[in-house]
Homo-oligomer: A and B are copies of this chain.
Amino acid sequence: MNRLVAGPDIEPPHLRDALHHALLSPGKRVRPLLLLMIAARDSGASEAALDAGIAVEMVHTASLVLDDLPSMDNAETRRKRPTAHVLFGEATAILVAIALLNRAFGLLAELGAGHEIRTELGRILSNSIGWNGLVSGQAHDIAGNQGAERADAERVNWLKTGALFVAAAEMGAVLGGCDEADRARIVGFANYLGQAFQTADDLIDISGDPEAAGKDVGKDHGKQNVVSIVGAKRARDACREYLTAALDELGRTGIPQGPIFALMEQHFGAMMPGNR
């Protein structure tokens, strides 16, 4: 990842330092790993899949930088470090997000793959970010008026988390040369996985342990989410249901499940189906 943001040509140095801080922080890289594991289906991971994974991580990082801003969640810790705006100021943090989002599309345009694949990946990524995805999810989150039913919370989870999981997985499917049927199942898998991820995140948030979270907790206080609507116990059950459904979809594809299962187990621990 370093080679993509470490160029001596990034000016001014303050912007470069802020970019490094945001992108090279110790994240789990779940989305790019997912993309790579799906893309590696038949021919091993390619340089193109690596770059596409980095593009997805750039978008994810941009969304975190924005989410933490004073005008949004006003969070001071992320990935166990001070947030970008705390260290570099609000204006620079916003520019970092813009630069990362922009560079993600630049990477896809320059990808070592056919032009048709590149435009397809750009289309998928753009669809997951805009007013049918991340941006809309964040706007709902800010407005706090998404409704009080579990289905409402799941809809917002889809927008703010599921959409980028789906994009990462679908981009992997395109790069891995999956057929239409497998691609649809992978989208289904990622959709459930995104729900599980967001619900697990909301469970950590109410646990109130910033050490486990690596970020500010309790920032979602008063926001409607699956946990606040159905309670922690039933939310854990829901998370397990999502994961079961995700694995069910994945099992119907030709994608090797071992690495993806291990990635999920690492993240969800005792909530993984079969584990108690």
Contact = CB atoms under 8 A, between A and B. Distances in A.
Contacts of A87: none
Contacts of A97: 98
Nearest to A110: B123
A197 interface: no
Interface in A127-147: 127, 129-132, 135-136, 138-140, 142-143, 145
A72 B89 CA distance: 10
Nearest to A63: B98
A79 B10 CA distance: 31
Contacts of A90: 71
A269 interface: no
A108 interface: yes
11 contacts: A15-B135, A66-B95, A66-B98, A69-B91, A92-B139, A95-B138, A103-B131, A105-B126, A106-B126, A110-B123, A122-B122
Interface of A: 9-12, 14-16, 19, 62, 66, 69, 71-72, 89-92, 94-95, 97-99, 101-103, 105-106, 108-110, 114-116, 118-120, 122-123, 125-127, 129-132, 135-136, 138-140, 142-143, 145
Given A91-B69, A119-B118, A131-B99, A143 B12 contact: yes
